[in-house]
A and B are shown apart, each in its own frame.
Chain A
């Protein structure tokens, strides 16, 4: 059998995966915390994205917003990884075969790559343009891609339940 499938099978049969799967209240409670994490992560990321896009918060510098909101982004992301990992462990073999789940993971990876590319390209020269109400094209592009991906990830997350 495929290694990845074996890993999912093993994860689903760990005491943790089994308890979440068998409990009537653990899954909804973890899912609720996962929803809280969405607000923190996607809300904070959207503030930066909207600023990069030049849509809102134009009188704050990009680096100031980054300094204030990145800790919330990382905090929200950590909560998503923990709660998402727990949800996954309870239905790992089911997720293994879900196209929507794969699409969601790909979009998260793409959001990470997008953030990394932004960090190492446009953000390097942030001192030169961060006071401009409209950021350079590369930064605006990163903002649009990021906000679309994150809301796409939220949508995909809801669709996993129906897939």
Chain B
């Protein structure tokens, strides 16, 4: 048994982990909130991404769009971290060595890196292109963000069937 598995097993045995498994209403409710959070997170980031790609809301400065929509993206992200953790706690031992779960987490990290690189490079000089055609690197960051976040949603949906269908294996 690896320490990671032991940690996951411990998570499922906590009060919250047990409630998430035992209470028939809790899991679907948290799942519904997880979908609602995806609307706030992915719609907000996509609006900024479409602005960066240069074909939506062109007459509004990029910095203004970022300032107005990113707080909603962060609110959605907070909702996703909380509800996602609760869902994970109910089936941590099934998810931890699940390839689709790992792909989903890797995609989220990738989305973070993409946003960080954009913020530290093209966005630093935003005042020079706030109202003009965004530079290639900004457009690229925008397209990449849309593709990654929708892939995260798809991975989440796929994860749902893969965890539900996977046999409960004894710890090795």
| Chain A contacts to B: CB under 8 angstroms | 28, 31-32, 35-36, 38-40, 42-44, 46-47, 56-57, 60, 68, 151, 154-155, 157-159, 161-162
Chain A to chain B contacts (Cβ below 8 Å), 11 pairs: A38-B38, A39-B150, A43-B39, A43-B47, A46-B40, A68-B57, A155-B32, A155-B35, A155-B36, A158-B35, A159-B28
Least CB separation from A34: chain B residue: B157
Cβ contact of A46, chosen from B32, B39, B46, B150, cutoff 8 A: B39
Chain A residues positioned under 8 Å from B153 (CB to CB): 32, 35-36, 39
Chain A residues positioned under 8 Å from B36 (CB to CB): 151, 154-155
Q: Is B72 an interface residue (CB 8 A)?
A: yes
Within 8 A of A (CB), among B152-166: 153-154, 157-158, 161
Specify the main secondary structure of chain B where it touches its partner. helix
The answer to whether B157 touches A47, judged by C-beta atoms less than 8 angstroms apart, is no
| Chain B contacts to A: CB under 8 angstroms | 28, 31-32, 35-36, 38-40, 42-44, 46-47, 56-57, 60, 68, 72, 150, 153-154, 157-158, 161
Known: A32-B154, A36-B150. A154 touches B43 (CB 8 A): no
Cβ contact of A154, chosen from B39, B46, B57, cutoff 8 A: B39
Q: A39-B39, A47-B43 are in contact. List 18 more A-B contacts (CB 8 A).
A: A28-B158, A32-B153, A35-B35, A35-B38, A36-B150, A38-B39, A40-B43, A42-B43, A43-B42, A44-B43, A46-B39, A151-B39, A154-B36, A154-B39, A155-B32, A155-B35, A157-B35, A158-B35
